[in-house]
A and B are shown apart, each in its own frame.
Chain A
Amino acid sequence: MGDMHEDAEPGGAMSKSPATREFARRERPLSPHLTIYRPPITMTMSIIHRITGGALYFGTLLVAVWLMAAASSQATFDWVNWAFGTWLGRLILFGYTWALMHHMLGGVRHLVWDTGAGLEKHTASKIAWATLVGSVLLTLLIWIAGYMARGA
Chain B
Amino acid sequence: MSGKNNTDMRTPLAKVRGLGSAREGTGHFWRQRLTAIANIPLMLFFVGFLIALNGSGYAEVRAALANPFVALVLALVLISGLIHMRLGMQVIIEDYITSEGLKLATIALNTFFTVAVGVASIFALLKLAFGG
Which A residues form the contact surface with B (CB < 8 A)? Answer: 50, 53-54, 56-57, 60-61, 63-64, 67-68, 70-71, 74, 77-78, 81, 97, 100, 104, 107-108, 110-111, 114, 142, 145-147, 149-150
List CB contacts (< 8 Å) of B37-52 with chain A: 37, 39-40, 43, 47, 50-52
Contact yes or no, B124 A70, CB < 8 A: yes
Count, chain B residues at interface, CB 8 A = 34
Q: Could you say which of B43, B61, B78, B85 contacts A53, with CB atoms under 8 Å apart?
A: B85
Given A50-B92, A67-B125, A61–B117 Cβ distance below 8 Å? yes
Contact yes or no, A77 B92, CB < 8 A: no
A150 to B60, CA, bound (A): 13
Given A53-B88, A54-B92, A107–B39 Cβ distance below 8 Å? yes
Q: Which residues of B contact A146 (CB under 8 A)?
A: 50-51, 54
Q: Which residues of A contact B92 (CB under 8 A)?
A: 50, 53-54
The reply on B107 being an interface residue by CB < 8 A is: no
Closest to A70 in B: B61
A42 to B9, CA, bound (A): 41
Contact yes or no, A70 B128, CB < 8 A: yes
Given A57-B89, A64-B120, A114–B125 Cβ distance below 8 Å? no
In the A-B complex, list the 8 residue pairs whose CB atoms are closest, starting with the nearest: A150-B55, A71-B124, A67-B124, A146-B54, A149-B54, A71-B127, A64-B121, A77-B58
